[in-house]
Amino acid sequence: MLSTTIKSGDWKGEKHVPVIEAPDTFKPGEEIEVKVSIGKEIPHPNTDKHHICWIKVFFQAEGKPPFEVGTVEFNAHDEDHKLFSSYKGSVYFKAETAGKIQAVSFCNIHGLWENEKEIKLA
C-alpha cells in the first residue's frame, strides 16, 4: 500500500517534510491561501542527483475523503546552467466546511513525505 511508504516528521528537524502555512480559521466561501515549502529550517539539496520534484496539496473536509486542490512542481535542477527551482509555492481554494490541509512531497531519492494542518471555521 502506498500509505505505508509515506513518511512524516517535524519539518523543523526533517528537511523532506512539507511546511504548510495557512490561516487557522476561515469563513465559508472565503479564498484560502496555502503556502507550501521544503527546507524552511533545514535546507534540502537541490542538485541533478538529489532534489524535490513536487508538492501536492489536498483538502479533506470533515467526514469526506481528501481532494487534490493543487500541485507545485520543481522542474529546474540544472547544475550546468546554474538554474534551480525554489522549493516553495502557493495554492488557493475555497471551502464551506472545516477540515485538514494535507501536503505530500516527493524526493527523487527518499520518496514521499507528508504533513497536515487543521483549519476551522471562524
Q: State percent of the chain over pLDDT 90.
A: 73
Catalytic status, residue 49: no
Catalytic status, residue 51: no
72: cell is: 507545485
Catalytic residue among 88, 110, 116, 117: 110
pLDDT at position 12 is 67
Whole-prediction pTM: 0.91
Show me where the domains of the chain are located: 2-121
Catalytic residue among 12, 27, 50, 64: 50
**What one-character-per-residue DSSP string does 42-99 give?**
SPPP-SSSS-EEEEEEEEEETTS--EEEEEEE---EETTTTEE--SEEEEEEE-SS-E
Q: Mean of the per-residue pLDDT values for the chain?
A: 92
Residue of 3 and 69 predicted with greater confidence: 69
CATH architecture for residues 2-121: Sandwich (2.60)
Catalytic residue among 7, 14, 35, 64: 14
Catalytic status, residue 15: yes
CA distances from 51 to 20, 29, 60 (A): 19, 36, 28
Catalytic status, residue 27: no
Scanning the structure block, which residue is given the C-alpha cell 472545516? 98
For 52-94, what is each residue's pLDDT tens digit? Answer: 999 999 999 999 999 999 999 999 888 788 888 999 999 999 9
